[in-house]
Structure 1
Amino acid sequence: MLAPSRGPALFWRLAIGNAAVLAAACTITALVFSPKAQDVALRELSIFIGGLALMLAVNLLLLRRALAPLRQLTAFARRIDPLEPGHRLDVAGGDSDAAELAAAFNEMLERLEVERRDSVARALAAQEGERLRVAQELHDGVGQSLTGVVLQLGRAARDMPEPDRERVLEAQETARDSLEEVRRIARMLRPEALDDLGLASALHVLGERVAEHSELDVDVHVQPGLPDFGEDAELVVYRVAQEALTNVARHAHANRAQVRLELSGGRPLLEIEDDGRGFARNGSEGGGVRGMRERAVLIGATLRLSRSDLGGARVTLELPAT
């Protein structure tokens, strides 16, 4: 939130101060050097007023030009979005002070963006490491324990009479459902398909799993022959698609969703769109969207939100040219 403005802008404070000084100086000069200080002629008064107006106009013009870089800097600083890096200040004119101001401000922005990118990379790396650890513990710990419970209940059911066998088999089925849920959560935490089969197969598997656990009809299209994005970029693409589809399934009240990964103008482009109710009318972005933006910043990509031709929302991730 911007702090409220306190008093007139610097330009007007300087302009009013200079105008007062010039007016006082011209008035004193006219009175001192007039033949009769008590009888200033109309012609001299007209010359005095005209000269004062001319000096004020020149003064205001020079002030406006000198303070223009400050106005540009103020407007630019208010438009800066940390999640949309790359914008730089370009001060018009060849004034050396203005150019030096713009260069210093741009250098500061560059340092801030590098530091933010590094901090986001460290945070996301730690997050992915924690996801992997939890997924492994669920798979190797809880998953193995539930598998043992399922097998034990199956063996116990064989030695029980019919009325009790039904209840044991019901418990076995409940344990099996819990085992499948643990495996699903582990797969969501760490995409095995991405590690084992590559990005294209992982996106298809993701679409199938989201459709399986929701009422969505998910269509996934990956253009054949896409270049290698690199490990970080592939993980960002997968996580953005995962978060977008999760938001659609939870909040959009949609029946259909599309995922497309293709080249557009030589740049890889990921689009996820649906036929739901679209984005919130107040324009606010939740933590999921912010997380997607931070991941995009990490690899120099651009994330855009727009209205889909299907009637709902569209999430577009544009990656740097490979």
Structure 2
Amino acid sequence: MPLFWRIFLLNAVVLIMATALLLGPVTVSTPVLLTEAAVLTVGLAAMLVANALLLRVGLAPLQRLTRAMTTTDLLRPGHRPAVGGRGEIAELIATFNTMLDRLEDERATSSARVLSAQESERRRVARELHDEVGQSLTAVLLQLKRAADHAPPGLGEELRQVQETTRAGLEEIRRIARRLRPGVLDELGLASALKALATEFGGPGLSVRHRLDGDLPELDRESELVIYRIAQEGLTNTARHARARRAEIALRRAPGGVELRVRDDGRGIGVAPEGAGIRGMRERALLVGARLTVDRAADGGTEVRLAVPVPARFPAHALVPAREAAPVPVRESAPVPVRKSAPAHAPPPP
């Protein structure tokens, strides 16, 4: 039973018992007149109504605090119950708000460390794919080519088919390595990286457009990486779940910063709880003090909006991966065996 009804019913029982004592022969020596009983009954009803109103007003801050405690999401900061007046309830609300501030700071700091480690691991895996697997497959391609050139016609055709399959696997590995570590972002900047992202996701079943303002403010590398990763995740969700035919990436100047928008014409976002992809985007947005909204677009489909402030607001002790030089691509037509070399400034493997 809610606290309001427990207090109200207890007070009502006390008032009814007091009224009964006033009307009973134990406390009254003469019979009570009908008018007196009516006045006492009306007075009892008025006191019960006043009691309910006072309880409703007095417990309203506690109800707001209860709603805030059940709906608070650390990935959506800024929502706080208002502290009104004085007293124990106001002190409790202020303490709760202070606790939320501390939890949000700790969550942002831990998310920064986790995502920094994730980016470092992505770079390591991409480097291993490029330097180890990629070069091994390149050597296999060269050996298959030499074997096909000297093999009988029937066997040579089969070797060429194996060569094409191996080449397709090598291209897929390179594509995965590029997505794990966007070298174009370091080399050519955010605009070129977003254009390359639109080209990568575009295909026969999905047309991806890009609209990028030319007068964007200067962004730090951390903000650029957050924008790129959220755009990448948004297009990934579109390609996997939206059943869309058209999508668009837009990056424009906004008051106080820049705004990224990724939208599609698919089936739209459902009412199910947010998955790991969207929550991951919210964690990335918190790293630079950005605001992320994921909602149904006005004309159908899904729209992801990211408002990034300039300069970015980093959480305390945020760890951001350092810039790393892109690896040198390996050419398949090299006549001599390829020598492996570590990329410049590469961090040691964990």
| TM-score tier after normalising by the smaller chain length | 0.7 to 0.9
TM-score by length of 1: 0.87
Q: Does residue 146 of the first structure (1) align with residue 140 of the second (2)?
A: no
Among 171, 175, 186, the residue aligned to 1:180: 171
- Is the aligned partner of 1:195 residue 2:186? yes
How many equivalent pairs are there? 310
Determine helix, strand or coil for the equivalent of 2:268: coil
- Are 2:120 and 1:126 equivalent residues in the alignment? no
2:303 aligned residue (302, 305, 314)? 314
Query: 2:28 — aligned with what?
Result: 34
Partner of 1:3: none
Q: Deviations over 1:168-198 (max 9, x none)?
A: 2222222221111111111111111112222
Match of 2:261 among 271, 287, 294: 271
Return the offset for 1:86.
Answer: 1.0
- Supply the AA of the counterpart residue of 1:25: A
Cα gap change, 1:164 to 1:54, in 2 (>3 Å): closer
Cα separation, partners in 2 of 1:12 and 1:199, compared to 1, 3 Å: same
**Within-5 A mapping of 1:65-214:** 65-92=57-84, 94-211=85-202
Q: 2:287 aligns to what?
A: 298
Q: Which structure exhibits the higher relative contact order, with contacts defined as CA atoms closer than 8 Å and separated by 6 or more residues?
A: 2
1:319 aligned counterpart, secondary structure: strand
Q: Identity over the aligned pairs, expressed in percent? A: 50
TM-score normalised by length of structure 2:
0.81
| Cα deviation digits, residues 137-173 of structure 1 (max 9, x gap) | 1011100100111111222233333333222222222
Gapped runs of 5+ residues in structure 2?
A: 312-350
SS at match of 1:87: coil
Q: CA separation of 1:124/1:60 partners in 2, compared to 1, >3 Å: closer, same or farther?
A: same
Counterpart-to-counterpart distance in 2, 1:284 and 1:63: 36
What CA distance in whole angstroms lies between the structure 2 residues aligned with 1:205 and 1:128?
20
- Give 1:41's aligned amino acid: L
1:58-78 superposed Cα distances (whole Å, 9 cap, x missing partner): 333332222121111122333
Distance 1:24 1:252 in 2: 65
Paired amino acid for 2:183: E
Say whether the 8 Å CA contact 2:215–2:253 is kept in structure 1: no
Taking the aligned partners of 1:201 and 1:271, their CA distance within structure 2 comes to 16
Contact 2:256 2:309 survives alignment (8 Å): no
1:252-291 CA distance string (max 9 Å, x none):
23232210011233331111112233334x4443332222
| Residue identity in the other structure for 2:98 | E
Kept after mapping to 2: 8 A contact 1:273/1:310: no
1:233 aligns with 2:223: yes
Give the unaligned 5+ runs of structure 1: 1-6
Aligned to 1:245: 235
